């Protein structure tokens, strides 16, 4: 059974410190290379495997490190103080893909995929979004038709993280008729299967080095054993298990990116001199910094509270996760804008990390559910309950 490259019996605090050091000494220094080459160097990916980042969400029995969701969030807040692109390299493997297999896969599927994912030997991609199925996830048109002992998949997915890099694709496809829960199913399709193609990835405004593209299925024939859990139906329910895990991680990522932005901004306020003193002594700059710091701490508390609720479940605290993802993703964009303002002209130069971060964080208000979808879902939950949160009080 695969495990992380160097099995460890360390305390969580020791591992957190190890990740903190790794972020500052390995990940940050390679950021310019990642941006310039639009790819994470192979030696950095290998280093992420060795330190166990591909295994932080999976239990020990499958070769993972077995950390709780709260611990995963704390780790994410550390390693995303480097470029968020590093996280994207393993995010769909540790979250969207592996967690759905963990909860809904057959014993054989768990044994085949989870140890390889925990070690970083296998990269997963989660294929839900289509041209007609974005926020309206139930509008999936990709079809999987049963043909004897096989399914034949036809359709196209887009905005798929790690599409060019993945070894296995979790595909949400229509196996039934109508709009009910039984109409959609999940199937596991391995790279190399005839009829599966991944065109060159799209170039994004930010997050360069994170490869997002399309996945095409043309009469793609897979064995019936590829059907997740061995039964049709409940595809969206299964997908949402992974999506809520991912949203919690995205909230933590926003906190990590905001902390990095504050780090960059604070250093500049102390370093830059005007009118004979550091510009951090000017009240206008202090207002920007003070508001940003308070909001980042609030986002951190909200994300960790949602993570603790995840650990206490079931049920998964869907509304609390939506609140955390919404708040943290909106805040990190505000912090990025303020830090650019703190740096003035320097903040607009590509040579500064702030300029890259400013572009990178804009994505978080869109993916894993737009801010508007989060707002709508939160409001509907409150109206159903007839009173505001906390719903569990």
Cα–Cα distance for residue pair 29/34, rounded to 1 Å: 10
Paired sense of beta strands 212-223 and 196-197, if any: antiparallel
The reply to whether 271 belongs to the active site is no
Residue 130 backbone dihedrals phi, psi, to 5 degrees: -135, 180
User: SS3 breakdown of the chain: % helix, strand, coil, rounded to 5?
Assistant: 60, 15, 30
Residue 36 backbone dihedrals phi, psi, to 5 degrees: -70, -40
Cα–Cα distance for residue pair 256/277, rounded to 1 Å: 30
Q: Which long-range contacts (CB under 8 A, 24 or more apart) does 227-232 make?
A: 227/151, 227/185, 227/186, 227/187, 228/100, 228/101, 228/104, 228/105, 228/109, 228/170, 228/185, 228/186, 228/187, 228/188, 229/104, 229/105, 229/106, 229/109, 229/186, 230/106, 232/175, 232/176, 232/182, 232/185
Cα–Cα distance for residue pair 320/28, rounded to 1 Å: 31
Q: What angle do CA 92, 98, 102 make, to 5 degrees?
A: 155
In which region does residue 63 sit, left (phi positive, over 0), alpha (psi from -120 to 50) or beta (all else)?
Answer: left
Residue 295, Cα to own-chain centre: how many angstroms?
21
Among residues 232, 264, 320, 368, the one annotated as catalytic is 368
8 A C-beta contact, residue 342 and residue 268? yes
Residue 196 backbone dihedrals phi, psi, to 5 degrees: -100, 125
> How many CA atoms lie less than 13 Å away from 349 in the CB half-sphere?
6
Q: Catalytic residue positions?
A: 368
């Amino acid at each position: 059974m695969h495990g992380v490259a160097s099995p460890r019996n360390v305390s969580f605090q020791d591992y957190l410190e190890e990740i903190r050091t790794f972020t500052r000494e390995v990940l940050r220094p390679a950021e310019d290379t990642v941006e310039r080459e639009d790819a994470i160097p192979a030696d950095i990916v290998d280093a992420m495997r060795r330190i166990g980042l591909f295994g932080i969400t999976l239990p020990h029995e499958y070769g993972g490190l077995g950390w709780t969701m709260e611990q995963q969030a704390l780790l994410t807040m550390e390693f995303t103080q480097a470029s968020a692109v590093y996280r994207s390299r393993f995010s769909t493997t540790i979250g969207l893909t592996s967690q759905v297999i963990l909860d809904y896969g057959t014993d054989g599927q768990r044994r085949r995929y989870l140890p390889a994912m925990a070690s970083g030997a296998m990269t997963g991609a989660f294929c839900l979004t289509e041209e007609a199925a974005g926020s309206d996830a139930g509008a999936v048109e990709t079809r999987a038709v049963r043909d004897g002992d096989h399914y034949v998949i036809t359709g196209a997915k887009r905005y798929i993280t790690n599409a060019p890099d993945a070894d296995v694709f979790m595909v949400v496809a229509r196996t039934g008729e109508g709009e009910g829960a039984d109409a959609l199913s999940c199937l596991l399709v391995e790279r190399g299967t005839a009829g599966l193609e991944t065109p060159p990835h799209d170039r994004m405004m930010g997050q360069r080095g994170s490869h997002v593209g399309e996945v095409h299925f043309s009469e793609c024939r897979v064995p019936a054993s590829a059907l997740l859990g061995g039964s049709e139906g409940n595809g969206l329910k299964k997908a949402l298990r992974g999506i809520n895990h991912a949203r919690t991680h995205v909230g933590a990522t926003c906190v990590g990116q905001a902390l990095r932005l504050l780090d960059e901004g604070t250093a500049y306020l102390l370093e830059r001199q005007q009118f004979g003193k550091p510009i951090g002594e000017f009240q206008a700059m202090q207002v920007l910094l003070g508001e940003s710091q308070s909001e980042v701490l609030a986002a951190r508390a909200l994300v960790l509270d949602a993570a603790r609720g995840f650990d206490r479940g079931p049920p998964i605290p869907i509304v609390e996760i939506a609140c955390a993802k919404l708040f943290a993703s909106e805040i990190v964009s505000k912090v990025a804008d303020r830090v650019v303002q703190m740096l003035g002209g320097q903040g607009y130069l590509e040579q500064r990390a702030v300029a890259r971060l400013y572009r990178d964080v804009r994505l978080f208000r869109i993916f894993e559910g737009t801010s508007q979808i989060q707002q709508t879902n939160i409001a509907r939950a409150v109206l159903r309950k007839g009173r505001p949160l906390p719903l569990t009080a």
